[in-house]
């Protein structure tokens, strides 16, 4: 029977059994150790392999076992903040440069995995008159910088069409990246948590990794693994659900609404994946475990029925832990101390910006090139 092997809280993306990777049970020596086998960590590993260094990657759970395999499957250009808000926060030049780089990263992903990525664009749909005005401000700012955007009015409502965005199967991409990295010579270990980072030694329950550089590529829980980031990074929980295939609904592209707090897409097989409502229960979601809660799930069900108009049975409910960069629209992409680099805290939308951070960390650690890292974070030394 379909999905019979799955945990009840697995995401809609978990349609195949977990690939087999070993657990670290010895000591190994490499040039770079990457902690975290999600999208950003695996992109980092690929960049490191292209730079010709020996790489080991570890994950406390499985490949894509964190937010990388439990998110909404959106590929969004730019930062988590809407473009005009990013311009206000960091300036037009930096915001535009990041936006263009993320467009290029989506193109790169689509070219590398055409069966995984769907370049269908995305919608920002206003949920109030105030948000309609904010969409107009975003449209004006993007057009001023020659960024692709169109006003939109359609069955979903009124807002903006972002034509360079897309959708994908995030867990499938992680698994493909991992297998490609293994074939390329990377040593990958799952169910291998990093207990401590002692300078260039990563200590794990049954072994350790000696490396010239360590790159911590986790999102949720980043501040727990690197106490240096406490107060700078804070972890919260995002929740989702997914229906059985709904033949009555046609949702051509991912939808963001209510200031981005609610979001959904319809998968090629007709299932609807819906997430959000974190802001309505924000105090309960900070530092919460990656398990769905009844209040948020009930709110999501209400959106499914009343806003989307679907009464198809719900097949999956799940949650993921993600990190926010306190007081900043930018992610964390920096050297935290000698030989140790950190990337994460993507403010809820890390699929594309996280990949860029992975490339930035690889170049900074191996080549000392912090150009991209300075653009993404602004605090990199070098």
Structure tokens at 205: 């329950």
pLDDT over 70 at 381, yes or no: no
Predicted model pTM = 0.95
Share of the chain above pLDDT 90, in %: 94
Tell me the pLDDT tens digit for each residue of 193-209. 999 999 899 999 999 99
3-state DSSP assignment of residue 97: helix
pLDDT category of residue 379 using cuts at 50, 70 and 90 = confident
Tell which residue, 226, 210, 243, 186, has the closest CA to residue 333.
Answer: 226
Calculate the alpha carbon distances from 136 to 21, 79, 161 in Å. Answer: 49, 18, 12
Tell me the pLDDT tens digit for each residue of 246-304. 999 999 999 999 999 999 999 999 999 999 999 999 999 999 999 999 999 999 999 99
CA–CA gap between residue 261 and residue 258 (Å, rounded): 6
Tell which residue, 246, 202, 193, 255, has the closest CA to residue 66.
Answer: 193
pLDDT over 60 at 1, yes or no: no
pLDDT category of residue 378 using cuts at 50, 70 and 90 = confident
Q: Which residues are bridge partners to 32 per DSSP?
A: 55, 213
103 close to 164: Cβ distance less than 8 angstroms: yes
Q: Measure CA 375 to chain center.
A: 19
Domain ranges of the chain: 120-166+233-325
Q: Which residues are bridge partners to 58 per DSSP?
A: 35, 189
pLDDT category of residue 2 using cuts at 50, 70 and 90 = very low
Q: Give every CB contact of residue 108 below 8 A, 6+ residues apart in sequence.
A: none
CA dihedral 169, 66, 55, 16 (to 10 degrees): -50
Q: Say which CATH topology domain 120-166+233-325 has.
A: D-Amino Acid Oxidase; Chain A, domain 2 (3.30.9)
């Amino acid at each position: 029977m379909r999905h019979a092997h799955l945990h009840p809280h697995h995401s809609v993306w978990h349609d195949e059994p977990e690939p087999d990777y070993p657990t670290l049970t010895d000591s190994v020596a490499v040039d770079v150790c990457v902690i975290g086998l999600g999208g950003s960590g695996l992109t980092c590993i690929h960049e490191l392999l292209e730079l010709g260094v020996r790489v080991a990657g570890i994950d406390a759970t499985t490949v894509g076992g964190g937010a990388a395999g439990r998110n909404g499957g959106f590929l969004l250009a730019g930062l988590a903040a809407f473009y005009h808000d990013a311009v206000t926060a960091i300036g037009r030049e930096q915001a535009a440069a990041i936006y263009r780089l993320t467009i290029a990263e989506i193109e790169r992903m689509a070219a590398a995995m055409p069966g995984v990525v769907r370049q269908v664009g995305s919608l920002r749909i206003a949920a109030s008159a105030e948000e309609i005005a904010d969409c107009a401000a975003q449209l004006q700012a993007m057009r001023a910088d020659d960024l692709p955007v169109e006003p939109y009015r359609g069955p979903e409502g009124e807002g903006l069409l972002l034509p360079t965005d897309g959708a994908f199967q995030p867990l499938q991409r992680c698994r493909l990246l991992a297998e490609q990295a293994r074939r390329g010579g990377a040593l990958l270990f799952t169910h291998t948590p990093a207990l401590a980072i002692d300078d260039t030694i990563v200590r794990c329950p049954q072994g350790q990794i000696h490396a010239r550089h360590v790159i911590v590529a986790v999102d949720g829980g980043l501040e727990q693994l690197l106490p240096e980031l406490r107060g700078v990074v804070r972890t919260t929980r995002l929740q989702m659900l997914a229906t059985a295939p709904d033949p009555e609904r046609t949702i051509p592209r991912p939808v963001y609404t209510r200031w981005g707090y609610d979001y959904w897409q319809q998968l090629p097989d007709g299932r609807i994946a819906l997430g959000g409502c974190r802001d309505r229960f924000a105090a309960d979601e900070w530092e919460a475990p990656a398990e769905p809660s009844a209040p948020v799930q009930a709110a999501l069900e209400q959106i499914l029925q009343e806003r989307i108009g679907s009464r198809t049975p719900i097949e999956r409910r799940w949650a993921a832990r993600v990190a926010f960069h306190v007081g900043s629209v930018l992610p964390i992409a920096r050297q935290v101390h000698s030989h140790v680099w950190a990337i994460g805290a993507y403010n809820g939308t890390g699929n594309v910006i996280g990949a860029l951070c992975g490339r930035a960390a690889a170049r900074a650690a191996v080549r000392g090139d912090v150009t991209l890292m300075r653009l993404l974070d602004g605090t990199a030394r070098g």
